[in-house]
Amino acid sequence: MKDLRRLIRLIKKKGQRSIQLVNNNFRKNETSKDNLLYEGIINNQFTNDEDAAQAIFDTDPGNRNYRNAKGKLRYKLLNHLYFLDYDKESYTQYQKVEYECLHTLHQCKILINEGAADLAAKLLPQLIKTAEEFEFVEIAVDALTLLRNHYAKKGKVTPFTETTESLEAQRKLQQVVQDCRDLYFTTIVHINKSVSAQNRVIDQVPEAIEKINKEAQKQNSNSLHVLASKLELTYNSMQWAFEKNIKLCNELEKKYLNRSSDEIVVDLDRHEIAFTHLKSHLYKGDIKEGVEYAKNQLRLFRPSGRTWFRFAEYYFLLLTKGEQYEEASALFRTIRTNKNYNTLPDPIRNRWYIYRAYLIFFNDSKILRWGYNIDEFIVNKPAYPREYAGLNVATLTIQFLFLLREGYIEEIKACIAEIQQYKSAHLDKRHNYRNSIFIRMLEIVVEKDFEVEKIQEKGHTYYKKLLKHRIPSDINQDSEVIPYEKIWEHVLNIIKSNKAYTHFRFYSAKAM
């Protein structure tokens, strides 16, 4: 009771600022402009300043009233950061404890500044114990410093000495951790900058991984082991060593993640590891193992979350590249009927629009065609921006397949001409080599007048190049909903079996 009375006097004496928070549920029917702005944003009514300013104030974004509403909303949202609900199941124990430790440290600093250091001293020992247990070295150093200073002011020599020793140990650990983090982020910044920057540092990455792992073993530190593992996963992806990534993901999941969120005590995102694991199966070509893994892991994701859509998309591509079209169609329907599908960014929904055309071609059904004008899709020229070049190639490829199957000779020639024009203007062979190879193979179809033996003979050289060069492990570059090698087999089979090409060759020869 004594401590509570002191806290009440402290707060009453200083007073308190009015806490302005966003009215999340509008139970009070608040109609303030900043709340209207908030409601419009979360309901996807406003996607830019122009729409919001026009709807709320009938003006442009430069208007003072609109800028004031934005500022007030920003202030309220920042206030909300102090009241986030970290008790939800989606948060790990690590995240919850870190959040609470930061709160407690902030509270202790306020108490000390307000002359209630003895109250802070009661909170600090448990804070220090928790911070050391979870390897929050910065928090531990700050908390130990506050406690040491308190003992110094009270003239308590023994606890001062003991705390000073603990502080020195944590400072040494902090320096080790900071050195490892510096090494990690110095490496990562070059990897993320550009391909040329990657090439300059790639030979140094194994040494960086080894250094961090050595310190992890020396300090018996899970946090440093996780840091080294993250860098190793990135390096393996760059080296196309997806088999190593599958093994490492299995180890990380077994050691840290195969448990409830309340038992995860390291800074590791189980969703990101699951995604990396699935992606590794996809690009290694482990269709069977990957599909089984994806089925088991999809339940980890909230179906309404953006990460669920991301994971499901790679699951879908695993199915299509394994030619499991019925399963892919079922997954597509699950994704397409998700209530949050329409909130996805345009590039993602555009990919699904193209995926649907592939499913119709390889596994046609009434439910896939319902509400989807496939004829319009076939004739429309794609015009996605340069950064989404893969979408253009994927669209032109499936358009070609539809036209080929129908035997529309003139339309096929026009499609090939469109593909050639796109290839010449937009494709850089250094980053789109497989696309360039496959487009050349499609050109051969027309050049050889749909004569399958000649097409097969001329195209075999390029077919071997496809087998040699891997599909890019980047969904924005990976335009191969189905691998080009398999599509090429379909192309040859269609030409062999479609009488339209027999007739075309016959009349072409007769005309000559």
- Residue ranges of domains in the chain: 2-170, 269-380, 382-512
Percent of the chain with pLDDT over 90: 62
DSSP of 469-486: SPPPS-TTT---SS-HHH
What would the mean pLDDT of 260-282 be, rounded to a whole number?
94
Tokens of 174: 């902090």
Q: 394 near 386, Cβ under 8 Å?
A: no
pLDDT-derived band at 430, boundaries 50, 70, 90: low
List, for residues 68-123, the tens digit of each pLDDT value: 988 888 888 888 787 777 777 778 999 999 999 999 999 999 999 989 999 999 99
Question: Residue 189: what pLDDT?
Answer: 95
Query: What are the backbone dihedrals phi and psi of residue 322, each rounded to the nearest 5 degrees, phi first?
Result: -95, 5
Quick check: 277 pLDDT over 90? yes
Q: Which of 35-39, 367-371, 501-505 has the highest mean pLDDT?
A: 367-371
State how far the Cα of 397 lies from the Cα of 419, in Å rounded to an integer. Answer: 9
Burial of 8 (0-12, 13-18, 19+ CB in 10 A): exposed
Question: Residue 39: what pLDDT?
Answer: 84
What would the mean pLDDT of 231-260 be, rounded to a whole number?
95
Residue closest to 187 by CA, chosen among 169, 205, 173: 205
State how far the Cα of 429 lies from the Cα of 350, in Å rounded to an integer. Answer: 24
Higher-confidence residue: 478 or 118? 118
State how far the Cα of 330 lies from the Cα of 95, in Å rounded to an integer. Answer: 35
List, for residues 180-218, the tens digit of each pLDDT value: 999 999 999 999 988 788 889 999 999 999 999 999 999
List, for residues 25-66, the tens digit of each pLDDT value: 544 555 788 888 888 887 778 888 998 899 888 889 889 998
In this prediction the pTM is: 0.84
State how far the Cα of 54 lies from the Cα of 469, in Å rounded to an integer. Answer: 52
Quick check: 509 pLDDT over 60? no
Cα four-point dihedral sign 337, 338, 339, 345:
negative
Quick check: 144 pLDDT over 80? yes
- At 170 the three-state DSSP class reads helix
Quick check: 165 pLDDT over 90? yes
Higher-confidence residue: 432 or 447? 447
| Least trusted range by pLDDT, from 49-53, 137-141, 272-276 | 49-53
Q: What share of the chain is helix, strand, coil (3-state, %, to 5)?
A: 75, 0, 25
Other C-beta atoms closer than 10 Å to the C-beta of 43 total 8
State how far the Cα of 380 lies from the Cα of 374, in Å rounded to an integer. Answer: 10
Residue closest to 335 by CA, chosen among 361, 373, 370, 306: 306
Other C-beta atoms closer than 10 Å to the C-beta of 453 total 10
Question: Residue 47: what pLDDT?
Answer: 81
| Least trusted range by pLDDT, from 3-17, 297-311, 477-491 | 3-17
State how far the Cα of 369 lies from the Cα of 377, in Å rounded to an integer. Answer: 12
Question: Residue 3: what pLDDT?
Answer: 60
Query: What are the backbone dihedrals phi and psi of residue 357, each rounded to the nearest 5 degrees, phi first?
Result: -60, -40
| Least trusted range by pLDDT, from 10-14, 138-142, 357-361, 387-391 | 10-14
Residue 453, CB-side half-sphere exposure with 13 Å CA sphere: 2
| Least trusted range by pLDDT, from 64-78, 288-302, 363-377 | 64-78
* E strand spans, 229-352: none
What would the mean pLDDT of 414-429 be, rounded to a whole number?
77
- CATH architecture of the domain 269-380 equals Alpha Horseshoe (1.25)
Residues whose CB falls within 8 Å of the CB of residue 79, separated by 6 or more in sequence, listed in order:
19, 20, 21
Question: Residue 142: what pLDDT?
Answer: 98
Question: Residue 23: what pLDDT?
Answer: 62
Query: What are the backbone dihedrals phi and psi of residue 369, each rounded to the nearest 5 degrees, phi first?
Result: -80, -20
pLDDT-derived band at 20, boundaries 50, 70, 90: low
Q: 485 near 463, Cβ under 8 Å?
A: yes
pLDDT-derived band at 282, boundaries 50, 70, 90: very high
What would the mean pLDDT of 411-416 be, rounded to a whole number?
91
List, for residues 314-338, the tens digit of each pLDDT value: 999 999 999 999 999 999 999 999 9
Helices 389-406 and 433-447, axial angle in degrees (round to 10):
20
What would the mean pLDDT of 12-24 be, rounded to a whole number?
58
pLDDT-derived band at 469, boundaries 50, 70, 90: confident
State how far the Cα of 285 lies from the Cα of 287, in Å rounded to an integer. Answer: 6
Question: Residue 510: what pLDDT?
Answer: 47
What would the mean pLDDT of 288-308 be, rounded to a whole number?
91
Tokens of 144: 């130990």
Q: Angle 245-247-251 (CA atoms, 0-180°, nearest 5)?
A: 110
Residue 359 has what DSSP assignment? H
Note every long-range contact of 136-139, with CB atoms under 8 Å and residues 24 or more positions apart, other chains counting. 136/98, 136/101, 137/170, 137/173, 137/174, 137/177, 138/174, 139/101, 139/102, 139/105
Mean pLDDT of all residues belonging to the chain: 88
Q: 346 near 383, Cβ under 8 Å?
A: no
| Least trusted range by pLDDT, from 179-183, 347-351, 398-402 | 347-351
Helices (H) and strands (E) counted in the chain, each on its own, are 25, 0
Give me the amino acid identity at 73.
L
Give me the amino acid identity at 228.
A
Tokens of 114: 């307000």
State how far the Cα of 306 lies from the Cα of 331, in Å rounded to an integer. Answer: 16
